[in-house]
A and B are shown apart, each in its own frame.
Chain A
């Protein structure tokens, strides 16, 4: 069973929504696949404050003719111009798996947080910054809870503001970048009045909040769950009691699906031209996988790709200068969030680095590359497929990742039994020429 579309968009964050909406409004058949229960990705996640820009775009999506495949996760590309996806609603589905054919593909797979290991980081209630935000939007009660926000990037302030709005007691906001670095970034933002307004908007909601710079957690404490964090700033080190630590060290792009499809990479991001085309024919990539640049850039890129894919090249080209102007922001953000080398020294020998397989730092620091670590310690062999530990080991040891094979997320075994044309192989009839099964009574 296979449905076909002119344009298939993967990821319903700002970039994907913009691409799908613009393509669909030209009359092309467009489908939007996303693995969350609702559209919006991470930054426009329902369940909390949504800026007007988000509400406008999501409303435009709702009235469009985009075929919504919400709650579907792409796992594979079993043949050219086809993606295989699984339905993601847990118990209640029969493990539905379906193939989707496309003429043009727009990848808007977004980014995830980078986590760095330090003693105690695996305790329950230590989460990412975006992670805590997502959980709160998903209904986690936070009123009256003491929260430390740490790591790096504009996300920290946004998360602190949001959870404070929901009644959390912000104990500290710790940015690892130095004041000097931040000042350079702030200066950059001053040239971007819109950005400053956004930042100010978050600031207004914050109330009195202590932002510490050059500051990071060195240990989390607790037995079954977090109860305190040790923070360090320069020569000072002190403990704070808290219920939650929201800690993320900037964003890494979700490049696994583009890589599996053969898209060329540059410095770890998907390489595209000015119209957001990748090195693979008929495949575009937009938003964070092409460079961590935030919402406005993602919206521009999504529109450019959606319009270009739908043949509205002139309209797309009109947007290109605005994108060009914003690319400086990508660089500035990247530099502002550069990680302090001291963060490499936080892990102790017994600190877990690979959380899926409980591989500790001591086992890893003897290895010379990712593949050796994987084969000899099982690091990266768990269900996260190295997404969490890979980003950490890249920073800790400079290791690059393996090539990407399907499935690009864990998939049901039954999804692998579907033939490339989408038909079920589940009756054990092996239909392709030259393939036979040795039990003679079952030969097709």
Chain B
């Protein structure tokens, strides 16, 4: 594929990281050694199906909760927060302008 292999800079749980193009947000979260979400009874969870069906990979991206990270590619400047605690803190939907 004719794509320049430029690193992508994004933030996961407040920490800057760089990933290769074509990396999913789910993989980036895993590289940051974080689970993606906290279950309703408080247990850590990570991706299960890898194809957008199980909803275990949900994270908050740029303030929008419940994003399926296994189907979203990392893009420059994304701010990703994992675990449901983050979703609870942001009770609405703050869209990027």
Contact = CB atoms under 8 A, between A and B. Distances in A.
Check A-B contact in the complex, CB < 8 A.
yes
Interface of A: 35-37, 42, 46-47, 73, 88-92, 94, 112-113, 115, 122-128, 130-135, 138-141, 224-225, 352, 355-358, 382-384, 387-388, 410
Given A91-B61, A138-B27, A36 B52 contact: yes
A141 B24 CA distance: 12
Q: Is the interface of A mostly helix, strand, loop or mixed?
A: loop
Given A91-B78, A224-B44, A384 B24 contact: no
Given A88-B72, A135-B30, A112 B64 contact: no
B54 interface: yes
Nearest to A111: B51
Contacts of A42: 51
B53 A357 contact: no
A126 B47 CA distance: 8
Interface string B70-88: 1111010010000000000
A112 B43 contact: no
Interface in B1-43: 1, 19-20, 22-28, 30-31, 35-36, 39-41, 43
9 contacts: A89-B72, A122-B43, A125-B46, A127-B50, A128-B50, A130-B49, A131-B49, A139-B20, A224-B35
A138 B23 contact: yes
Given A131-B51, A384-B55, A90 B25 contact: yes
A394 B32 CA distance: 36
Given A36-B52, A124-B45, A384-B55, A135 B71 contact: no
A79 B44 CA distance: 41
Given A139-B23, A358-B39, A358-B40, A384 B53 contact: yes
B91 to A, nearest CB: 15
A225 B54 contact: no
